[in-house]
Structure 1
Amino acid sequence: MTTKMVFAQPQPVLDARESDEWTSGICDCCDNKPQCCFAFWCCPCFACVKTRKYGQCLCLPLLDIFGPAHPATLAMRVSMRHRYGIKGTICKDCAIATFCTACAWCQMAREMDSRAIPIALVGTRPTQ
């Protein structure tokens, strides 16, 4: 019986979509009408669902309820810009998070959908 030793595992190949802009505008809510309606009528619920999908704590957006500023929306927007390499400024993010909260969440949801990279887990079995 011979044993094969594997020295290098195959690495996953990611299809990078290089763009330094948002894939949709802040006012493109009608691109996904059901999502837009959900965000408009129940923005806290929509934000919690999308925050969880992004990989953060489900209740994080509830911090936005306690004041005129929206720290969770701002933090998510800045995090998403950094993760996807999107150009922008903290000043613009702050203004959008404060005055266009539902539209900001819709835009972030569309961005997550358009930049989603499916991950395939490959099963392994021992070679004989």
Structure 2
Amino acid sequence: MSSTRPYDVEEQPWSTGLCVCFDDIKSCCLTCWCPCVTFGRISEIVDKGATSCVSNGAIFALIYYLNTWACLYSFSYRTRLRRELRLKQDPCHDCLVHCFCMRCALCQEYRELKNRGFNMEKGWEGNANKHREVAMAPKVEGDMKR
């Protein structure tokens, strides 16, 4: 007899392909010229605000411009994002995707978060506040009477 647990959900495909930049030229250009900004924004969302876009982006830039092995730092965020969102490891292992197609991988991760409703320019706090405002009860003015 097999038991199914709530966390045994089948992994889903990414909402966009790895090399699909035609749908979002703005983020693709950002990633092409400033991958540290794209990575910083992604990492802040994945870390749920525990780290800042600026600090993670600066670490990424430092590694990238000093020894070009930033993929070893950035792939771990792809893995965390993929596990959190229950996405398939596609087209190959996360480390290989980042080492050979880092900019495409960052663009895909950025698009995935945007497609799931995140405003990437606002960061974690801006998105969390948006969701809190929706869930809050309306303020009641004056006294309540029967």
User: TM-score, normalised on structure 1?
Assistant: 0.70
Q: Deviations over 1:49-92 (max 9, x none)?
A: 33224434422352442542523321111011111111227x62
* Pair 1:121–1:72, CA change in 2 (3 A): farther
Aligned pair count reads 110
Counterpart of 1:80, as a letter, is L
Greater relative contact order (CA < 8 Å, ≥ 6 in sequence):
1
* Residue of 53, 57, 60 corresponding to 2:56: 60
The answer as to 2:137 corresponding to 1:123 is yes
What are the ranges of 5 or more consecutive residues in structure 1 without an aligned counterpart?
1-17
Task: Give the structure 1 partner of residue 27 of structure 2.
Answer: 35
Higher-Rg structure is 1
TM value normalised by structure 2: 0.62
2:135 and 2:111 map into 1 onto residues whose CA distance is 25
Q: What is the aligned-residue identity percentage?
A: 24
Is the 2:12–2:86 contact (alpha carbons within 8 Å) kept by the matching residues of 1?
yes
* Distance across 1 between alignment mates of 2:73 and 2:111: 18
Q: CA RMSD in A?
A: 2.7
Tell whether the 8 Å contact from 1:60 to 1:72 is kept in structure 2 after alignment. Answer: no
1:52 is paired with a residue whose SS is: helix
**Correspondences of 1:1-128 after superposition (within 5 Å):** 20-54=12-46, 55=48, 56-58=51-53, 59-61=55-57, 62-63=59-60, 64-65=63-64, 67=67, 68=69, 70-88=71-89, 92-116=93-117, 119=131, 120-123=134-137, 128=144
- Tell me which amino acid in the other structure corresponds to 1:104: A
Q: Is the 8 A contact 2:32 2:103 kept in 1?
A: yes
Higher fraction of helix: 2
